[in-house]
Amino acid sequence: MKSIRLMGNTAVAVAMAVTPALAQVASLGSPEGQVSIVAWPGYIERGETMAEFDWVTKFEEATGCQVVIKTANTSDEMVALMNEGGFDLVTASGDASLRLVAGKRVQPVNIDLIPSWTNVDERLKNAPWHTVDGVHYGVPYQWGPNVLMYNTEVFGDTPPTSWSVVFEEQTLPDGSSNVGRVQAYDGPIHIADAAQYLMAHRPELGITSPYELNADQYAAALDLLRAQRKLVGRYWHDAFIQMDDFKNEGVVASGSWPFQVGLLKAEGFPVSSVIPEEGSTGWADTTMMHVDAPHPTCSYLWMEHTLSSNLQADLSVWFGANPVVLSACTDGSGMQTAEGCTANGLDDFEKIKFWTTPVSQCESQGECVPYYRWVSDYIGVIGGR
């Protein structure tokens, strides 16, 4: 019941955009010997998957802080784990970060204690998914676009330039229809992709943010998704299942992450990706600190460590994402290169609308359709309603 009530409280807080002012760490003590982190799979590597991808061992040697990792597969799992407590840090995406702030599960971060903060990409320093009323609730970790992945054999010389290839029935360059050969993301957040498409193609709807939709805009987005349902055999949910679908199910185009594109390319499978002309949605993750973090000094040391350019470079190569420290692309401290960053979408920052949780009291138009409606309605759309 406690956790139920907590979720309720969280929802209230999100809805009312309450900003709790909490104490932040004023100075660092001596390292506590451990730091425990809730992270996305593949986000914190200690050379166990592949020896060259290791950004933990040296940190442990240098600080004496043992890194304990708890992986979580969804934003909701992350929120739940943080509600349980006992962890120091979490790599929260934009659709979880504000919930954590509003639910008072994370504490403000004293950026004065993080020397490398100055190196953080200016575009991210005050990003709204971790900065509330000018208070920083975390340190940016990585970000990436949701790209349009396509099969290069099917598209040949004419790569897709618009998301229409997954939204509207059409004949693909190989002469066959796209029915049954495209996919879409199996999460309500995909409604934002539809809304972004409508921003470009139906300006009369007046959509300014794909996460802030009034009733009419929302209805139009759902209509677009209903048409998409007829094209989609199965929606994708798991990165590896999507890769499998490109290989074995004859899927030739879909919204995706650079992660899948990179892995499929590495396997020699003929895919490539673009950020279409309408722009795209994306994710930006933040390292946030639990309000009752048992190891604050190690936590700060880790946050500082995450901003080192070699970690940022290696992580961006490993995950197909973009570093939050721009020098990581060029200074040769890690495996990343300028070309690699461009391929991962570094220059498309402005085109990307980062994931954030839709709330009813929205900035742009006063009243928007809240996230829980997105969830139930998207269930209906996928169910053929």
Partner 1 sequence: MSRSAILPNRGLADRLSALFWRHPRVLLLLLITPPLLWLGVVYLGSLGALLLQSFYSIDEFSGVVVEEFTLKTYGELFRAANMDIILRTLTMSASVTLASAVIGFPVAYFAARFARGRWKAVFYLGIMLPLWSSYLVKVYAWKLILAKEGIITWAADSVGLGFLLDAVLALPGVGGNSLSTSFIGTWIVFVYVWLPYMILPMQASLERVPVSMLEASSDLGATLGQTFRTVILPLAMPGVIAGSIFTFSLTMGDYIIPQIVGTSARFIGQAVYQLQGTAGNIPLAAAFAVVPILIMLVYLSLAKRGGAFDAL
Based on the shown chain and the rule CB under 8 A, indicate whether residue 248 belongs to the binding site for partner 1.
yes
Closest CA to 55 of 66, 64, 65, 44: 44
Strand 131-132 versus strand 106-107 pairing type: unpaired
State both tokens at 187.
Answer: 């999460």
Which span sits near partner 1 by CB under 8 A: 13-21, 258-266, 274-282, 305-313?
A: 13-21
357 with 340: CB under 8 angstroms?
no
Which span sits near partner 1 by CB under 8 A: 1-9, 123-131, 293-301, 335-343?
A: 1-9
Based on the shown chain and the rule CB under 8 A, indicate whether residue 17 belongs to the binding site for partner 1.
no
What b/e sequence results for 251-274 when a residue is b if at least 16 CB atoms lie within 10 Å of its CB, and e otherwise? bbbbbbbbbbbbbbbeeeeebbbb
Based on the shown chain and the rule CB under 8 A, indicate whether residue 41 belongs to the binding site for partner 1.
no
For partner 1, give the closer residue by CB, 235 or 354: 235
Based on the shown chain and the rule CB under 8 A, indicate whether residue 11 belongs to the binding site for partner 1.
yes
Of 41, 233, 332, 366, which lies in the binding site for partner 1, with binding defined by CB under 8 A?
233
Based on the shown chain and the rule CB under 8 A, indicate whether residue 180 belongs to the binding site for partner 1.
yes
For partner 1, give the closer residue by CB, 22 or 379: 379
65 with 59: CB under 8 angstroms?
yes
Question: With the C-alpha atoms ordered 23, 131, 39, 112, is the resulting torsion angle positive or negative?
Answer: negative
What whole-number distance in Å separates Cα of residue 59 and Cα of residue 51? 16
Strand 271-274 versus strand 135-136 pairing type: unpaired
Question: With the C-alpha atoms ordered 106, 111, 117, 118, is the resulting torsion angle positive or negative?
Answer: positive
Based on the shown chain and the rule CB under 8 A, indicate whether residue 84 belongs to the binding site for partner 1.
no
Based on the shown chain and the rule CB under 8 A, indicate whether residue 210 belongs to the binding site for partner 1.
no
Binding residue count for partner 1, defined by CB under 8 A: 48
Least separation in angstroms between residue 9's CB and partner 1 is: 9
Based on the shown chain and the rule CB under 8 A, indicate whether residue 191 belongs to the binding site for partner 1.
no
What whole-number distance in Å separates Cα of residue 324 and Cα of residue 105? 24
For partner 1, give the closer residue by CB, 251 or 311: 251
Least separation in angstroms between residue 226's CB and partner 1 is: 11
Length of the chain: 385
Based on the shown chain and the rule CB under 8 A, indicate whether residue 370 belongs to the binding site for partner 1.
yes
Residue numbers of the site for partner 1 (CB under 8 A)? 1, 4, 7-8, 10-12, 14-16, 74-77, 80, 180-181, 186-188, 232-235, 237-238, 241, 244, 247-250, 359-360, 367, 370-372, 374-377, 379-380, 382-385
